[in-house]
Amino acid sequence: MDKSELEALKKEIEEVRELINTYIEYPEIFRDELVESSKKIDMLINEYIKQASDPQ
């Protein structure tokens, strides 16, 4: 994976992190969104780590 693809993943992680920070203010209202965002950020971080450590 090239550097631009890693940067795109990093940007998406930051966007999801911002969403989570917004949702966390009202967890009782945004429960489903928090669960989905948490799953998504986990997946993105795992993909970032995998791609960043994959020598090419």
pLDDT digit string (tens) for 11-21? 999 999 999 99
- Note down the domain range covering 32: 3-53
Amino acid at 53: S
pTM of the model: 0.85
Task: Report the domain count for the chain.
Answer: 1
Question: Is the separation of the CB atoms in 51 and 12 below 8 Å?
Answer: no
pLDDT band at 56 (very low <50, low <70, confident <90, very high): low
pLDDT value of position 2: 81
Q: For helices 3-23 and 31-53, give the axis angle rounded to 10 degrees.
A: 160
